[in-house]
């Protein structure tokens, strides 16, 4: 079956960080169903005739996931070439799995096109390698966002895992996250780097210690990196430049 719907990762923000396949599918799409975090630079790569549908979940104007899934099923049946564009990678906290399940259940052929996840790209944009020889042999990617009815992250156990902790969607819960990690035994002096709007013109990097995280101003979307690697700043760009 030729895929009618593609669940496509748009990467962290910079259009240059799209995959070649994502750019090709975008240029050929009839309909692009996208999230709020997908920037104009990426959307500009869609075909001029393509219909753009913003289903971004924003406070005060939520689009229920079931509605997005049924929209994809309906569009998939229409015979149009549909690109479902998600920030980062579609299967990393992108709810792409649920959309894939809906398409499977409806018998609609689809494909998944991975993207560069912000879990890795945002730290990199600040010159933070998530693993580093002799410093961190693993990294754990967690959500900081608590949803009713879903299992919470066991922060205290995570504190004992070692390696780097990468928190997505953690800005509003950062005080609790820091407190729980310290209660689990993580050193209050553990370095933290928070990368806001990574790889876009609005990128801001904040660095602090774990016990300063609660009081450090950070605006979403941000990726928070906790661990000794967060003290590194392996970059020569004082000011980021490029076409974003
Ligand atoms: N599927 C996405 C993650 C979706 S959850 C991915 O793989 O990247 C949304 C969270 O991703 C945000 O709350 C933030 O923590 C992170 N994020 C997305 N874009 C970002 C960016 N440009 N800079 C920093 N963090 C980002």
CA of 107 to the centre of ligand 1 (A): 30
Q: CB count, 10 Å around CB of 163?
A: 17
Contact status, residue 110 vs residue 140, Cβ threshold 8 Å: no
3-state secondary structure the chain: CCCCEEEEECECCCHHHCCHHHHHHHHHCCEEEECCCCCHHHHCCCCCCCEEEECCCECCECCCHHHHHHHHHHHHHCCCCEEEEECECCCCCCCHHHHHHHHHHCCCCEEEECCCCHHHHHHHHCCCCCCECCCECCEEEEECCCCCCCCCCCHHHHHHHCCEEEEECCCCCHHHHHHHHHHCCCCCCCEEEEEECCCCCCCEEEEEEHHHCCCCCCCCCEEEEECHHHHCCCCCCCCCCCCC
| Candidate list 21, 30, 80, 169, residue with the active-site label | 169
Q: CB count, 10 Å around CB of 60?
A: 4
Phi–psi pair at 225, nearest 5 degrees: -110, 125
**Residue 125 in contact with ligand 1 by CB distance below 6 A:** no
| Angle (nearest 5°) at CA 48 between 44 and 54 | 60
CA of 115 to the centre of ligand 1 (A): 12
The pLDDT of residue 177: 97
**Residue 223 in contact with ligand 1 by CB distance below 6 A:** yes
Sheet containing 139-143: give its strands across: 139-143, 164-168, 222-226, 191-196, 204-209
| Candidate list 35, 86, 89, 182, residue with the active-site label | 35
Rounded CA-CA distance 190/181 in Å is 10
**Residue 37 in contact with ligand 1 by CB distance below 6 A:** yes
CA of 223 to the centre of ligand 1 (A): 7
Task: Give the closest residue to 223 by CA, choosing from 183, 173, 168, 185.
Answer: 168
Q: For this structure, is 35 an active site residue?
A: yes
Whole-number Cα distances in Å, 195 to 121, 204, 225? 10, 6, 8
**Residue 87 in contact with ligand 1 by CB distance below 6 A:** yes
**Residue 107 in contact with ligand 1 by CB distance below 6 A:** no
Task: Give the closest residue to 181 by CA, choosing from 197, 162, 194, 198.
Answer: 162
Rounded CA-CA distance 124/187 in Å is 23
Per-residue pLDDT of the chain (244 residues; tens, 9 = 90+): 677 899 999 999 999 999 999 999 999 999 999 999 899 999 999 999 999 999 986 666 668 899 999 999 999 999 999 999 999 999 999 899 999 999 999 999 999 999 999 999 999 999 999 999 999 999 999 999 877 766 689 999 999 999 999 999 999 999 999 999 999 999 999 999 999 999 999 999 999 999 999 999 999 999 999 999 999 999 997 544 443 4
């Amino acid at each position: 079956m030729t895929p009618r719907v593609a669940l496509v990762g748009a990467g962290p923000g910079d259009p240059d960080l799209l995959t070649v396949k994502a750019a090709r599918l975008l240029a050929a799409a009839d309909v692009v169903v996208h999230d709020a975090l997908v920037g104009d630079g990426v959307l500009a790569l869609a075909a001029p005739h393509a219909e753009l549908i913003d289903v971004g979940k924003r406070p005060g104007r939520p689009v229920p996931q079931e509605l997005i899934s049924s929209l994809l099923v309906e569009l998939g049946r229409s015979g149009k070439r549909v690109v479902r564009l998600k920030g980062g990678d579609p299967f990393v906290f992108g709810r792409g799995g649920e959309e894939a399940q809906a398409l499977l259940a409806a018998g609609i052929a689809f494909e998944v096109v991975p993207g560069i996840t912000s879990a890795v790209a945002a730290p990199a944009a600040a010159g933070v390698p998530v693993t580093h020889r002799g410093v961190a042999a693993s990294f754990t990617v967690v959500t900081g966002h608590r949803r009713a009815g879903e299992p919470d992250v066991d922060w205290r156990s995570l504190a004992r895992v070692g390696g780097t902790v990468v928190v997505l969607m953690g800005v509003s819960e950062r005080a609790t996250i820091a407190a729980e990690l310290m209660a689990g035994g993580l050193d209050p002096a553990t370095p933290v780097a928070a990368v806001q709007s990574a790889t876009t013109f609005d990128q801001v990097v904040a660095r602090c210690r774990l016990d300063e995280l609660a009081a450090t101003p950070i605006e979403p979307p941000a990726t928070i990196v906790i661990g000794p690697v967060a003290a590194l700043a392996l970059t020569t760009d004082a000011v980021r430049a490029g076409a974003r």
